[in-house]
Structure 1
Amino acid sequence: MKGRVFVTGATGFVGANLVRLLLQENYQVRALVRKNADLTNVKNLDIELVEGSLNDENLYNKMIGCDYLFHVAALYSLWSKDKELLYQTNVLGTKNVFHAARKANIKRTIYTSSVAAIGVRKDGVLADENYQSPVENLIGNYKKSKYYAEQEAHLAIKSGQDIVIVNPSTPIGAYDLKPTPTGEIIVRFLRGKMPGFVNTGLNFIDVQDVAKGHILALEKGKTGERYILGNQNLTLAEFLDKLARIANKSAPKVKFPVWFPLAVAYLDEYVLSKLGKNPSVAVEAVKMSSQYMFYNSQKAVKELGLPQTDIDKAIRDAVNWLWGRQGSWKY
């Protein structure tokens, strides 16, 4: 046994893949799960489940006996109504997790941030770990919450805790249960409900590589450093072409100007929602799509040995897993 690890967010997309890899690599896993959480992603796994939340005062008691901590859990929401909940969960929850880890004598913590906390450059140069967008330029409350959560990590590091920060880009693959916004794109595409796209771009990575990157950060990462866990920069059109080839369907050809989905989103979120309609498009999501969210992940490749699996394989895994769950699709 390499050690006992405590994992938050084990039922989520990245967490579910991480837990499986930890078990394969001979770690013992204790996972924090919320009351009434959907345990589909951890069903039948040989792990210890403890019930609680990120803001529990006695969280450290649940960590006692563990050697390492992977703090993966976070709230992802682009809805304006969730601003306070994002702060409570992602910022204050993260602060409490670090406090609990210190009290429980955790040897090393891997904190799952996001490239969202880094932001994007506007000069055409790929953003790396040395770049930081001013927080006021980060679009939306989710990105800002991840930025402020990273600041809590740095404060904990200054107080003497051994913390390594990883910043995944856009993971693709199996166990995307909710699904993520990218998983939602795949679902909509597979259902034939994606008539067009906007001119944006993302950095994609196989979610299994993200999981491996977490373990490599534990074993090789430098305290206080952050590592972008990414792989290939693709425009949305290029991603959809790959998806179309793998799913044997036609890619959408209509390119929407960003003002069109933005107008729909404003109407959806701020007008129709007040009339009782569940909004389907978040304003912040459309604003993000006005940028190319491209990144340079060579630091993690060179210093950690981050794998760079072909994105086609990751898309295929995502399609096969999501297709197997088509009866539960909500889109």
Structure 2
Amino acid sequence: MLNPKSQKVFVTGGTGFVGAHLVRLLLQQKYTVKALVRPSSNLENLRGLEVEVVKGNLNDPNLWRQMVGCQYLFHVAAHYSLWQTDQELLYQHNVLGTRNVLAAAQKAGIERTVYTSSVAAIGVGSSGKVVDETHQSPLEKLVGNYKKSKFLAEQEAIKAAAQGQEIVVVNPSSPIGSLDIKPTPTGDIILRFLRRQMPVYLDTGLNFIDVRDVAWGHLLALQRGKSGDRYILGHQNLTLKQLLEQLAEITGLPAPQRTVPAWLPLSVAWIDEKILAPLGKIPSVPLDGVRMAKQPMYYDASKAVRELGLPQSPVQAALKDAVDWFVTQGYVNPSGELKIKN
């Protein structure tokens, strides 16, 4: 077990959802934290924390200088977008950025790195089959440029580990909880439910996990993970219908009862991105997002539970945390119908 006393950690992506929870956990566990943030980053998630903040970007050739004096690196930062027009940005930030960050870590003498990949890089099983770390969908079968970029970025980490760098890969599923400022796709589902903007739903499913467990998964990967291996940080596989029913129980709001056939949102998204967007209309539904949602994304996290000791906190408690946070932060205009249980 690593001794956190006097240990300094460099974190990318600390202003984001997972990164903000990781930073809090590291501070709680007595690590010293140095966080890289973009000049344009919203720093709200780091407000009031004893963190050394440095401004820069993942592709800075002198990034290694900022890492000197740190023992460990958590590379959490990534560009997330499902818009097809962002293909180049995704490649620059996620693939080339990861390559540069890992090279900087080696040059700065970082002893051990945890790279945050995603289950998106693993792909999905056929017909909703539950898959683990041994599964890999071919690159051409991964839906959308985001998934492809995360696969290629993960390959950079695995390649560097094969060349002798100490790098552990973690693949979070769909985290749930507070501090989801953007929000994430899962947070967006919760928000749409709270705002009564989800009259129907797609017949699909995801793997969910409390975001605080994801943060612990990162730290446990640093302490116990095997270099070059990947670990799925997930917990419970739920259909979207089951998730919405849990939200209904927490809030007192009715869950949508009708499914919508996938061709309908696919048609809307195709018209949005392919026809209206070039004419100047801001698209409302990403085509790749609908294509991804057609496939249930179910995962088995037993390796991380077994080898790392990944916690498995109740998903419903994480959902309640997310609901409470969105309401108190003003993301939702709460009506009298919200009856959140204590």
Report the TM-score when normalising by structure 1. 0.97
Percent same amino acid among aligned pairs? 59
Which of 61, 65, 69 is the aligned partner of 2:65?
A: 61
How far apart, in 1, do the equivalents of 2:283 and 2:138 lie? 30
Alignment pair present for 1:129 and 2:133: yes
CA drift of 1:327 comes to 5.0
CA drift of 1:268 comes to 1.5
CA drift of 1:280 comes to 1.3
CA drift of 1:124 comes to 5.1
**Alignment RMSD, CA only?**
1.1
Please name the residue that 1:248 is paired with.
252
CA drift of 1:123 comes to 5.8
Please name the residue that 2:240 is paired with.
236
Aligned residue pairs total 329
Contact residue 203 and residue 240 of structure 2 kept, 8 A:
yes
Which of structure 1's runs of 4+ aligned residues deviate more than 6 A?
Answer: none
How far apart, in 2, do the equivalents of 1:211 and 1:143 lie? 21
How far apart, in 2, do the equivalents of 1:123 and 1:288 lie? 13
Spell out, residue by residue over 1:296-316, the C-alpha distance to the aligned partner (whole angstroms, 9 max, x if none): 000000110000000000000
Secondary structure at the aligned position of 1:326 is classed as coil
Which of 319, 324, 334 is the aligned partner of 1:315?
A: 319
CA 1:327–1:135: 2 relative to 1, 3 Å: closer
Alignment pair present for 1:7 and 2:11: yes
CA drift of 1:277 comes to 2.1
Secondary structure at the aligned position of 2:327 is classed as helix
Alignment pair present for 1:72 and 2:76: yes
Please name the residue that 1:170 is paired with.
174
How far apart, in 2, do the equivalents of 1:293 and 1:207 lie? 18
Alignment pair present for 1:304 and 2:308: yes
How far apart, in 1, do the equivalents of 2:191 and 2:126 lie? 31
Alignment pair present for 1:99 and 2:93: no
Report the TM-score when normalising by structure 2. 0.94
Please, which runs of 5 or more residues in structure 1 have no aligned partner?
A: none
How far apart, in 2, do the equivalents of 1:242 and 1:277 lie? 35
Spell out, residue by residue over 1:167-204, the C-alpha distance to the aligned partner (whole angstroms, 9 max, x if none): 00000000100001111111111111111100110000
Please, which runs of 5 or more residues in structure 2 have no aligned partner?
A: 334-342
How far apart, in 1, do the equivalents of 2:271 and 2:240 lie? 24
CA drift of 1:290 comes to 1.0
Opposite residue 179 of structure 1, the aligned amino acid is P
How far apart, in 2, do the equivalents of 1:298 and 1:2 lie? 32
Please name the residue that 2:209 is paired with.
205
Secondary structure at the aligned position of 1:293 is classed as coil
How far apart, in 1, do the equivalents of 2:254 and 2:50 lie? 41
